[in-house]
Structure 1
Amino acid sequence: MFNAVAVAVQSLAAGEHLTIPKHRGLRLRANESMYNWIYRYKNPDDGRIRQVKLGEWPNMSLTPAVRHWRQLKSLRDQGVDPSTVHRQTEHPRRASIAMPNESAAQLSVQQIGLRYYEGHVKHHWGERGAREVWRIFARTLGEFGSLPAQKVDADLAADFLRGFLDRPTQGTITRRELGAAWDYAITHGLLPAENVNVWRGILRGEFKSKGVRVKGVHRGAEKRLLSVDELAILLPWLHHFTSANEDILTLFAWTCAPGKEICAMYASEISQEEDGWWWIIPEAKLRPQRRGAASDFRIPLVGRALEIVQRRLLASTNGYLFKGRKGGRFDPKNVGVAVWNAREDCDSRPEYQRPRLPISDWTPNDLRRTAVELLKALECPPEILAAIQGQRGNRLRLSADRHAHDALKRLWMTRLAQVLEQLMQGRAPAQWDTEKLAA
């Protein structure tokens, strides 16, 4: 039965659920990043539908889920609301986190971190982020993790973090999560209220990136831009990728949109208006630093971008134009991994024969950045260029006359598509003459 559940789970999209016919009310619901066992029932008092989370699959397999379901169903049959009893049994468990058997003085740095993970991260973070936090506290701390948390002062904390100065990204994340763990511990009584969170102030701004590092060699902080000749070689080669990766990489260039938003493209965001097709990203879906505008982010769909969107709209089964392996949206990380695996210098899985990129030193985001540079070379006005990239301040200024600026965005994106189409045919434009390219 477990294998049957495992097979059925693979076909679940986010928001869908799997019912267990022999156990009425027990279901496995798929979210964006996890699968939850749910007991759904009618409240014996008022007849309203309620549900209780039993656990997460695969950490909780079918057998313990059924066992837990039977206990709650028995209460329901006796006229007792299972959710009330479930909350009462959950509170002591949470209290055990806040008031552990060990005294606060005995808790080590690692124990504080793991309590933070178990009490907060595990229940509020996505699967990937939670796994990274667990890795930090379980594997990264080393001997420092065994020190009593109360004895950690600014000097000890700074000495520990200096070991990450050659790995600035890891150092920044470790410092941040240790600071969050200390806040959690103080709030829940794991550390005295008068304890100072030393992690918030030490080495602030010291973790400075040295730029991209490939196989231990730093390339530097300079951003990579592909030349016109390189694009004329690279764009026609994209068909060697899978259909999803090829389409996403093409949209990087044809829309100038970030990969995270492309991979989360949803059918309801596509609309046909009098002047053509638009991809309208709701403000709530944008990254925090790009929110706060007077309107949603509107991207005109022209050329190959429109062809891709129309084709995928017809094939979409769950609303997402790019469906992930577990349902929901396509994982943007998969695109970067696909590009890396196709590089000539990639020695991962050498036994796996695959086509190798004719130009290796680039990332998916370099396509978007290069497309923006093409618009600059076409002499696209700075305010329109900023609006195409969705920069917040410019969207605020342009919102007063949206239709006029929509027309300008569509004009310049059409010119960009014409240039990219020539490059897709392996032909670089003879010269950067705006009127000639727009003809």
Structure 2
Amino acid sequence: MRATNRLSAKGAVSLGPGKHADGAGLWLVKDEGGRGKWVLRVTIYGKRREMGLGAFPAVSLAEARKNADVARSIVRAGLDPIKVRENAKREAARNLHILNDIALDCFETRKAELKGDGVAGRWFSPLEIHVLPKLGKMPVAEIDQTDIRDCLKPIWHEKAETARKAMNRLSLCLKHAAALGLQVDLQATEKARALLGKPRHKPENIPALPWQYVPEFYSSLNEGTVTHLALRLLILTGVRSNPLRFIHENQIDGDVWTVPAEAMKGRRDATADFRVPLVQETLAIIEEARAHSRDGFMFPSVRKGVISDATMARLMERRGMTERPHGFRSSLRDWLAETTDAPHDVAETMLGHVVGGTVERAYRRTDFLEQRRALLARWTQHVTGQKGAVVKMVGGQA
């Protein structure tokens, strides 16, 4: 009898239950139902092992012999074909992770660094809107610079800032994939930038109402609604809309409003809460807002939660204004620069900006609360139509 290739394709089909040798360690093991499996017996490191080569008849005799030849060659090289196959499967599985899954996992790991744990979705939105619909189902290991270029090309010049954010988020996703052990091209985003070229569009600042015209607008917010009161407090305090929308009763202590660190953009240190001084006018607004509060939140929406980011903006749109609520921070900053001698550190701190390097901040233990209170009192006088005299800061005092 032949030592190898003992079986034939037709004969294998008609064989009964049991073990049938094809030779050189290749066996067909069949059951009562006529189905079976291919098994290769090999000796590895002095021990006999059986390696499955697939189900019969799905795997043909010719294919089983081909797979057996590959396994034998691995044995001759002094390696374990079973381990080699398992390693190859693990490598293939790692590299089949699609971008959509990697992006979500990356987002989860970064939530602790994001304002409000990224609930507002601003970190993930550029990916969700502009990248994942096109690249989300691709294995992350296969994404290259041409894929990224083709994905972002439609918005590269028209929506330059959005495209920049999407590219940066995608770069972080690739780094996250690399950290997971996936084979990715970490330079793909930089190569894509080279292919796309420099964006023609220049990002524009949010339109701001000149500080001279703020009193007229402020006086028109006289209906006592949630939106009017929110805009009034926004203008007088200079805070961003997010902490203002989520202002809660437990954040107010006398004439100080303490904004939690996680609500402050760029303030991730748990000790970096931001204190906002409250003057007579702002205290009156807060008292009036309490009549609208729900679950302790002073500016609730009509249905649930708090008013949206767009609520105040839409009021200004309906009045035909191009300016937006965030621009009132610029109005305040310009007023400080043009009508006061407030030191740079005090003026920047009024807007909640982090001033100075790590070492400098470690030695500076003040947040200029009383200096800022005096300046905000003057700003309030201006905004409410009273006399807003020029403020002179002498030796850090107003």
TM-score (norm 2): 0.58
- Whether 2:163 is the aligned partner of 1:171: answer yes
The answer (yes or no) to whether the contact 1:256–1:368 under 8 Å persists in 2 is: yes
Distance, in Å, in 2 between the alignment partners of 1:420 and 1:113 is 50
**How far did residue 321 of structure 1 move?**
1.7
**How far did residue 381 of structure 1 move?**
1.3
Distance, in Å, in 2 between the alignment partners of 1:380 and 1:223 is 25
Q: Write the deviation string for residues 62-83 of structure 1: whole angstroms up to 9, x where unpaired.
A: xxxxxxxxxxxxxxxxxxxxxx
The residue identity in structure 1 corresponding to 2:166 is: T
**Alignment partner of 2:352: what SS?**
coil
- Whether 2:156 is the aligned partner of 1:201: answer no
Cα 1:195–1:322 shift into 2, 3 Å: same
**How far did residue 243 of structure 1 move?**
1.6
The answer (yes or no) to whether the contact 2:148–2:189 under 8 Å persists in 1 is: no
Partner of residue 354 from structure 2, selected from 392, 397, 418: 392
Q: Write the deviation string for residues 34-61 of structure 1: whole angstroms up to 9, x where unpaired.
A: xxxxxxxxxxxxxxxxxxxxxxxxxxxx
Distance, in Å, in 1 between the alignment partners of 2:205 and 2:294 is 41
Match of 1:331 in 2: 308
- Whether 2:219 is the aligned partner of 1:244: answer no
**Alignment partner of 1:422: what SS?**
coil
Cα 1:324–1:282 shift into 2, 3 Å: same
Match of 2:144 in 1: 153
Q: Write the deviation string for residues 96-144 of structure 1: whole angstroms up to 9, x where unpaired.
A: xxx99x9677x6xxx82333356665897637455664433454x3xx7
Partner of residue 369 from structure 2, selected from 397, 403, 406: 406
The answer (yes or no) to whether the contact 2:236–2:379 under 8 Å persists in 1 is: yes
The residue identity in structure 2 corresponding to 1:281 is: V
Partner of residue 305 from structure 1, selected from 257, 282, 295: 282
**How far did residue 158 of structure 1 move?**
4.0
Which 10-residue stretch deviates more, 292-301 or 169-178?
292-301
Partner of residue 271 from structure 1, selected from 230, 253, 256: 253
**Alignment partner of 1:299: what SS?**
strand
Distance, in Å, in 1 between the alignment partners of 2:120 and 2:365 is 41
Partner of residue 259 from structure 1, selected from 238, 241, 256: 241
Distance, in Å, in 2 between the alignment partners of 1:131 and 1:225 is 25
Cα 1:371–1:303 shift into 2, 3 Å: farther
Q: Write the deviation string for residues 315-346 of structure 1: whole angstroms up to 9, x where unpaired.
A: 43312222245644433233223433x143xx
Structure 1: which 5+ residue stretches go unaligned?
1-98, 212-220, 345-359, 424-428
**How far did residue 235 of structure 1 move?**
2.0
Partner of residue 116 from structure 1, selected from 77, 82, 102: 102
**How far did residue 280 of structure 1 move?**
1.6
The residue identity in structure 2 corresponding to 1:231 is: V
Match of 1:62 in 2: none
Q: Write the deviation string for residues 213-270 of structure 1: whole angstroms up to 9, x where unpaired.
A: xxxxxxxx35644335533432222346x82221121122211111111112121211
Cα 1:172–1:321 shift into 2, 3 Å: same
Return the index of the structure with the highest Cα Rg. Answer: 2
**How far did residue 160 of structure 1 move?**
4.5
Cα 1:127–1:263 shift into 2, 3 Å: closer
The residue identity in structure 1 corresponding to 2:259 is: I
Partner of residue 422 from structure 1, selected from 385, 388, 391: 385
The residue identity in structure 2 corresponding to 1:308 is: I
The answer (yes or no) to whether the contact 2:226–2:299 under 8 Å persists in 1 is: yes
The answer (yes or no) to whether the contact 2:102–2:173 under 8 Å persists in 1 is: yes
Return the structure number with greater relative CO, CA threshold 8 A, min gap 6. Answer: 1
**Alignment partner of 1:201: what SS?**
helix
Structure 2: which 5+ residue stretches go unaligned?
1-88, 112-117, 393-398
Distance, in Å, in 2 between the alignment partners of 1:127 and 1:286 is 14
Match of 2:331 in 1: 370
**Alignment partner of 1:210: what SS?**
coil
The residue identity in structure 2 corresponding to 1:279 is: W
The residue identity in structure 2 corresponding to 1:413 is: L
Residue identity over aligned pairs, in percent, reads: 15
The residue identity in structure 2 corresponding to 1:157 is: I
